[in-house]
């Protein structure tokens, strides 16, 4: 475990930059008051591995807003969002998994997961084959012809559809906004195990925002804590837990020590 203070979070190395937030500010009244102020964050590319970055913070601190800035769904009041060293452009391939299942309920599971391929003009037969491989990977085999809606699938199954759809094109950047929200503990853990396994295979850059400390420590390679009013990044932790991560990971002394350390810091802010 490496514990870094605020001033160290923007240290640049020779690794390629993936995402950089420069002095990001959020204000909804023309700059009279700020929700987020002068937030800086640098995420670099780790060759042949990728990075699983967790932005951890209490509810209402602006975590989801930051994710939307990176996705290009919103623009900050001031500051810059750089992707691969350039200002954010909608041409950059980024996938996002939202808090609530966002599967299209008038399409089957198979069609939902095929969509990114079809948008890229991949032939339908090839798209279907790749979608079936992803369906097997996320444990939905046998459900591919069901409509992706409640009543036909559970909440956990619907979130698996969304995760599979987000990952099928193997985007370089994947954004996740509390994907376990509203799920029971067992289902939430299954989703975490699935995400950890798929990330290892894809070696992409994943950014997860959450207020769940256990989830942050279990999944992350780095944890950035948002805090303060107005909010910014106030702490960084390197997570040295080995991969693959499984249920036993959460019982190790190393996991519990880091969880308790992060929890103590969160309680203090």
The answer for residues whose C-beta is within 8 angstroms of residue 57's C-beta and 6 or more apart is: 63, 209, 211, 225, 226, 227, 231
Instruction: Say if residues 160 and 138 touch (Cβ distance below 8 Å).
Output: yes
pLDDT at 167: 87
Instruction: Say if residues 151 and 184 touch (Cβ distance below 8 Å).
Output: no
The per-residue pLDDT for range 164-182, each reduced to its tens digit, is 998 888 778 999 998 888 7
pLDDT at 8: 43
What structural domains and CATH numbers belong to the chain?
A: 2-93+173-268 (3.40.50.300), 99-170 (no CATH)
Which tokens sit at 247? 């249920």
Angle at 95 between CA 93 and CA 100, to 5 degrees: 160
pLDDT at 2: 55
pLDDT at 3: 58
Cα 108 to Cα 36: distance, rounded to the nearest angstrom: 40
Single pTM value for the model: 0.88
Q: At 85, phi and psi to the nearest 5?
A: 80, 5
Low-confidence stretches of the chain (pLDDT beneath 70): 1-12, 89-91, 101
pLDDT at 9: 46
The answer for residues whose C-beta is within 8 angstroms of residue 221's C-beta and 6 or more apart is: 46, 51, 52, 53, 238, 239
């Amino acid at each position: 475990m490496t514990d870094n203070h605020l001033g160290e979070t923007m240290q640049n190395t020779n690794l390629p930059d993936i995402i950089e937030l420069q002095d990001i500010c959020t204000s909804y009244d023309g700059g009279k008051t700020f929700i987020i102020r002068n937030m800086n964050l640098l995420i670099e590319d780790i060759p042949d591995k990728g990075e699983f970055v967790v932005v951890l913070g209490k509810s209402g601190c602006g975590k989801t807003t930051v994710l939307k800035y990176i996705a290009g769904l919103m623009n900050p009041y001031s500051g810059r969002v750089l992707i691969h060293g350039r200002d954010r452009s909608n041409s950059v391939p980024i996938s996002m998994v939202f808090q609530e299942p966002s599967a299209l309920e008038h399409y089957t599971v198979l069609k939902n997961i095929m969509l990114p391929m079809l948008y890229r003009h991949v032939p339908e037969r090839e798209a279907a084959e790749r979608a079936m491989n992803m369906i097997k990977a996320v444990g939905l085999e046998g459900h591919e012809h069901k409509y992706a809606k409640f009543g036909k699938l559970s909440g956990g199954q619907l979130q698996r559809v969304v995760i599979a759809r987000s990952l099928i094109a193997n985007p370089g950047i994947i954004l996740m906004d509390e994907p376990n929200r509203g799920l029971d503990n067992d289902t939430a853990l299954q989703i975490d195990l699935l995400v950890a396994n798929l990330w290892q295979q894809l070696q992409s850059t994943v950014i997860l925002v959450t207020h769940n400390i256990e989830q942050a420590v279990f999944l992350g390679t780095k944890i950035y804590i948002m805090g303060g009013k107005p909010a910014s990044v106030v702490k960084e932790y390197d997570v040295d837990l080995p991969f693959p991560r499984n249920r036993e990971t959460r019982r190790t002394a190393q996991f519990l020590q880091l969880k308790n350390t992060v929890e103590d810091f969160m309680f203090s802010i």
